[in-house]
Chain A
């Protein structure tokens, strides 16, 4: 019955590799997000999608490419991983016209 689920939960990879994180929500929400939480716990929005359309791209390097095949899924692909990409990445969703965000359990990405 998980509302927002993302996989994998942990991801350890070497610099320069390409990796993907998947996110799915079964809440019927129209809007989905990716947030990055750094080591100081700061939560920063990266992308926002509404009904599969990109709404917000918060000056994220173009090595990060989100893809929304349908409104229940928002995946994040990262090319040429760098040490500074190490963080916890949270997927979230919210209903249309309501900004309460429901978060996934997070993906802890470690780049070595």
Chain B
């Protein structure tokens, strides 16, 4: 099955700086790579996703890049704000029924 590794496990950044989270996956058949944000005590919510036919996708302050050859993808958050503090999960999927999640990155934005 798919194995997704996520680094770092914790990330502390100064407000206004950028944050980068990296994930690698094992199954070369994976073709869908979403990122979820989970605030304390809340449900995970999709913030951005990318499919294997695209190398980069951007939505305002967040962007995701995908390197299929190296089997890794990254989340970039620019101009971080206190409300960006949360746990972020990457995931990978090769079929329509199962998302394999990374272990999560706890992001803390210092004011």
Contact = CB atoms under 8 A, between A and B. Distances in A.
Contact of B87 (A41, A44, A102): A41
Interface residues of A, number: 24
A96 B97 CA distance: 9
Contact of B98 (A40, A56, A97): A56
Contacts of B49: 100
B65 interface: no
A32 B34 CA distance: 17
Interface in B71-111: 87, 89, 93, 96-101, 103-104, 106
B26 interface: no
A98 interface: yes
A103 B102 CA distance: 17
B23 to A, nearest CB: 13
B54 interface: no
Contacts of B34: 99-101
B44 A103 contact: yes
Contacts of B87: 41
A106 B43 contact: yes
Contact of B97 (A42, A55, A100, A106): A55
Interface string B41-53: 0111110010000
18 contacts: A31-B97, A41-B87, A41-B104, A45-B99, A45-B100, A48-B97, A48-B98, A94-B96, A99-B93, A99-B96, A100-B34, A100-B46, A100-B49, A101-B46, A103-B43, A104-B43, A105-B43, A106-B43
